[in-house]
């Protein structure tokens, strides 16, 4: 565990105090998480059954983070909007963010489709769908439901304000926060005591996040030990081509596509990845991008992005900007078709592409959500046997690591791009902070 409760936010503290206090290498969060992951992998390989029993440690850490996420979003958005003098900026930032999300995530879907068509990761399997365990996928098929646009929009509106927080739905909480923020801004003088209270609550919530992050190495150990112990490194062998292709495609998407976007915005993608290395390791260990949301928001503010912009772009991006999930869905859909010798015409591939644009939304953060969304996508093409999803069910945990990771990185890049778009950041300041 980290020796300092606020170690995750050392950069902000040092900037404020003006005197950077050197932290011993063994006390830094990312080193402790790396060591925990290495020990977990060895433990999982040596004693799989005992390692699989470590699952509650990872689940407990994820639950601790998700416990405060809704409060983090609510407090950040409300105080940010209420502090804005020009409320038109809220609509402008939201519009730019949605435009960016749709362009990049649609490009990610296309990349997955193109790579799947060229590499043909499923060719040579020659699987007979009748021999597959359809029951293993039936539970996911029951949860999969292709939403219409109107149903998706209605889903954003909670039944009650309290219900939004009870369910932990990010979009619902974001809507409530936007309404509160606009209301407090309109009645600024009369609601000043309430705004002050929310600002104080914000400080308390991030203090809680600091405390929780002390247990990140333990959570990373439990999650990684369970993954290796439950599924085993050997399970990667038969589907190595799909996993390798997905990992390489994701890495190239970050370095080339996001790298080009970052370069245009005035910063280097590699420097940014080093800046958020703690968040990267946490997401890889837990296979959930939500574990990095609070600290990612804090670090983006440290770079100079306004609290209101971070509060709008990051939570919205967790639903609309799912680049890793998008690559996975089209690539895995073609894998299942190729593995079961199902020939897809161009128009059928385009149908998968179109449906995935909608079903990929909301498949971020929660483990298994992308798998369920893919099942729902395949259900619109009767020629593809949904039972074929049983082929990749066993390796989904390994796939989800990179899905969640690319989703998280994409949201960080998107926030900096929108901030540059809004002239909140200049190139010199951004590069200095990243260095």
Residues in the chain, overall count:
435
Backbone angles phi, psi at 373, to 5 degrees: -65, -35
- Per-residue HEC secondary structure of 344-375 comes to CCHHHHHHHHHHHHHHCCCCCCCCCHHHHHHH
Residue 334 lies in a domain: yes
Residue 417 lies in a domain: yes
Q: Rounded distance, CA 271 to CA 251, Å?
A: 15
Helix, coil or strand: residue 417: helix
Residue 185 lies in a domain: yes
Residue 164 lies in a domain: yes
pTM: 0.81
Can you give the pLDDT of all 435 residues of the chain as single tens digits?
Answer: 444 434 444 444 444 344 446 777 777 887 888 899 899 999 998 898 899 999 899 889 888 888 888 888 888 888 877 766 666 777 788 889 999 999 999 999 999 999 999 999 888 888 777 766 666 566 555 555 555 567 667 777 888 888 888 887 777 888 888 888 888 887 777 888 888 888 899 889 888 988 998 898 999 899 888 888 887 777 677 688 899 999 999 999 999 999 999 999 989 999 999 999 999 998 988 888 888 888 899 899 889 888 888 888 888 888 788 899 999 999 999 998 998 888 888 888 888 888 888 777 755 545 567 777 788 778 777 788 877 888 887 778 888 889 999 999 999 999 999 999 988 887 887 888 887
Among 1, 71, 13, residue whose Cα is nearest residue 211: 1
Among 349, 375, 348, residue whose Cα is nearest residue 363: 375
Residue 199 lies in a domain: yes
Is residue 255 within 8 A of residue 88, CB to CB? The reply is no
Q: Which domain holds residue 54?
A: 7-434
Is residue 89 within 8 A of residue 422, CB to CB? The reply is yes
Residue 52 lies in a domain: yes
CATH for 331: 1.10.3860.10
Is residue 338 within 8 A of residue 120, CB to CB? The reply is yes
Residue 2 lies in a domain: no
- The total domain count for the chain is 1
Residues in Cβ contact with 393 at an 8 Å cutoff, skipping those fewer than 6 apart = 136, 137, 371
Tally of CA atoms within 13 A in the half-sphere of 163 that contains its CB: 7
Residue 118 lies in a domain: yes
Q: Where are the beta strands (DSSP E) in 14-142?
A: none
Would you give the distance in Å from CA 253 to the centre of its chain? Answer: 15
């Amino acid at each position: 565990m980290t020796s300092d409760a606020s170690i995750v936010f050392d950069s902000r503290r040092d900037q404020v105090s003006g005197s950077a206090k050197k932290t011993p290498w063994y006390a830094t969060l990312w080193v402790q998480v790396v060591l925990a992951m290495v020990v977990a992998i060895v433990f999982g390989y040596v004693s799989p059954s005992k390692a699989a029993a470590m699952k509650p440690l990872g689940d407990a850490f994820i639950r601790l983070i998700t416990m405060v996420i809704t409060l983090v979003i609510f407090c950040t958005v409300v105080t940010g909007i209420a502090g804005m003098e020009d409320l038109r900026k809220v609509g402008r930032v939201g519009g730019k963010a949605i435009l960016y999300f749709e362009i990049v995530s649609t490009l990610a879907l296309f990349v997955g489709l193109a790579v799947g068509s060229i590499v043909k990761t499923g060719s040579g399997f020659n699987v007979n769908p009748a021999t597959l365990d359809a029951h293993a996928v039936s539970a996911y098929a029951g949860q999969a439901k292709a939403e219409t646009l109107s149903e998706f929009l209605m889903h954003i509106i909670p039944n009650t304000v309290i219900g939004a927080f009870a369910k932990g739905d990010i979009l619902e909480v974001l809507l409530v926060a936007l309404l509160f923020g606009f209301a407090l801004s309109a009645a600024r003088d009369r609601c000043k005591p309430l705004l002050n209270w929310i600002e104080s609550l914000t400080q308390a919530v991030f203090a809680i996040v600091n405390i929780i992050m002390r247990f990140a190495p333990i959570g990373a150990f439990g999650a990684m030990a369970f993954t290796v112990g439950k599924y085993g490194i050997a399970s990667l062998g038969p589907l190595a081509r799909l996993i390798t292709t997905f990992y390489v495609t994701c890495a190239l998407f970050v370095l080339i596509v996001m790298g080009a976007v970052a370069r245009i915005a005035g910063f280097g993608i590699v420097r940014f990845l080093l800046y958020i290395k703690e968040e990267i390791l946490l997401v890889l260990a837990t296979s959930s991008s939500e574990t990095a949301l609070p600290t990612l928001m804090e670090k983006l503010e440290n770079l100079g992005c306004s609290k209101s912009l971070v509060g709008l772009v990051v939570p919205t991006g967790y639903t609309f900007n799912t680049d890793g999930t998008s690559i996975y869905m089209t690539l895995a859909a073609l894998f299942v078709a190729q593995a079961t010798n199902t020939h897809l015409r161009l128009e059928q591939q385009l149908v998968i592409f179109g449906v995935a644009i909608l079903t990929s939304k909301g498949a971020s953060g929660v483990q298994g959500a992308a798998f369920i969304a893919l099942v729902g996508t395949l259900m619109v093409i009767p020629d593809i046997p949904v039972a074929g999803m049983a082929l990749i069910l066993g390796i989904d945990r390994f796939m989800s690591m990179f899905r969640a990771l690319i989703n998280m990185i994409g949201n960080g890049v998107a926030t900096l791009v929108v901030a540059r778009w809004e002239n909140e950041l200049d190139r010199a300041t951004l590069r200095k902070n990243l260095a």
